[in-house]
Amino acid sequence: AQPSLILAFETSCDETSVAVIKDGNEILSNVVATQIKSHQRFGGVVPEVASRHHIEQITICLQQALAEAHVTYADLTGVAITYGPGLVGSLLVGITAAKAVAWAHQLPLIPVNHLAGHIYATNFVQPVHFPAVALVVSGGHTELVWMPAEGEFKIIGETRDDAAGETYDKIGRVLGINYPAGPTVDQWAHAGHETFQFPRAMIKEDNLDFSFSGLKSAFINTVHHADQVGTSLNKQDLAASFQAAVIDVLVTKTTEALAQYPAQEFILAGGVAANQGLRSALQKAVTAKGIPFVMAPRKLCGDNAAMIGAAGAMLQRHGAHADMSLNAEPGLEF
Ligand code: KG4
Ligand code: ZN
């Protein structure tokens, strides 16, 4: 294979990130500027605030990524860019920067789907074995993806409403936890017991889709009702009961997907993959079926440009190429 040295940009949500990736699986640099603090007081990501931060950060991240990798533009073989799904204003900042570099230095522009990026974060551990099934769970996504061969992706199941991480963030807010609430809810869940019965929507339905809005409402109603009648509920038990419902649904649908789609490998990806309870439950269910369970390194589970560079290298091998008309696609599937 040709040597590959890719400059990758990721600005789909609230992290500005630029990376330099060698041969699709070696990180020379991966600069991530997070905006979490600016969004915390709003309890979630505010799109307009996010794009403004990206504009302020993108050139700084780019220069730092090149410097840390000790490379110049002349060394590069391509520019990879997330063009969707994500927030339109945020995506456009990265796309504009990537186009400018590609145009000025006559480099191929490689369009990358953000979900393919999350999945290819595992490429830093080992190459993907096909056919494969992946579960991408993050603040913006809950998708089961079927990959029959390299470069081929098909969404076989997805959330009909809220994403899993978003649900963690919203119920966490009711418990008084700062955005993003996932890690704290996870910690509390481990200290508590499942004493509340929360709904597992669509778990018995004959499809691979998810729905978390009913669980979110049931949780919020339980807490508000207790507030009204002046009783206080055990927060650890609430968290444990919520997490049990989320894990139950994710494990059941993943097991069903693996029954329908023959896989050589199962990949867990996205920010919620950091959840210890989810990881161990899924690992147990998947390996019980004799299927290898693969996960990205923990610090590459959240949004970052390294994963976009890994997917970009693979896509470039398969001929993916965009011109200067590339636009943001906020609702991009595959
Ligand atoms: O992939 P990511 O960094 O950004 C998106 O693309 O959304 O995922 C962030 C999401 C947040 O919703 C956060 O609350 C959730 O992942 N998260 C967790 C945990 N760590 C992060 N959710 C549950 N348990 C965790 N340990
Ligand atoms: Zn993401």
Residue 330 inside a domain? The answer is no
Regarding whether 271 and 132 lie in a shared domain, the answer is: yes
Residue 324 in any domain: the answer is: no
Are 139 and 271 within one domain?
Answer: yes
Amino acid at 266: F
**Whole-number pLDDT of residue 1:** 65
| Closest C-alpha residue for ligand 1 atom 13 | 182
Q: What is the per-residue pLDDT across 170-188, written as a single tens digit (0 to 9) for each? A: 999 999 999 999 999 999 9
Q: Are 87 and 133 contained in the same domain?
A: no
Q: Please provide the average confidence, as pLDDT, over all residues in the chain.
A: 96
**255-271 pLDDT tens trace:** 999 999 999 999 999 99
Q: Which residues line ligand 1 (CB under 6 A)?
A: 13, 138-140, 165-166, 168-169, 180-183, 186, 270-272, 274-275, 302-303
Query: Any idea what the CATH number is for the domain that residue 58 is in?
Result: 3.30.420.40
Within a 10 A sphere around the Cβ of 292, how many other Cβ atoms? 14
Q: Choose the residue to mutate in 30, 136, 168, 212 for probing ligand 1, maximizing ligand atoms within 8 Å of C-beta.
A: 168
Per DSSP, helices labelled H in 18-87 are 36-40, 47-69
Domain shared by 134 and 267, yes or no: yes
The Cα-based distances of 33 to 1, 10, 177 in angstroms read 33, 11, 22
Residue 311 belongs to domain spanning: 5-121+300-317
Which protein residue has the closest C-alpha to ligand 1 atom 22?
182
272, 278, 282: residue to mutate for ligand 1 pocket, most atoms within 8 A of CB: 272
Percentage above 70 pLDDT, the chain: 100
pLDDT tens, residue by residue, 190-224: 999 999 999 999 998 999 999 999 999 999 999 99
Taking CA atoms, 277 is separated from 81, 121, 188, 198, 221, in Å, by 32, 21, 11, 17, 25
**pTM for this predicted structure:** 0.95
**Percentage of the chain surpassing pLDDT 90?**
92
Same-domain check for residues 102 and 162 = no
Side chain identity at residue 211, one-letter code? S
235-250 pLDDT, tens digit each? 999 999 999 999 999 9
Q: Is residue 65 included in any domain, yes or no?
A: yes
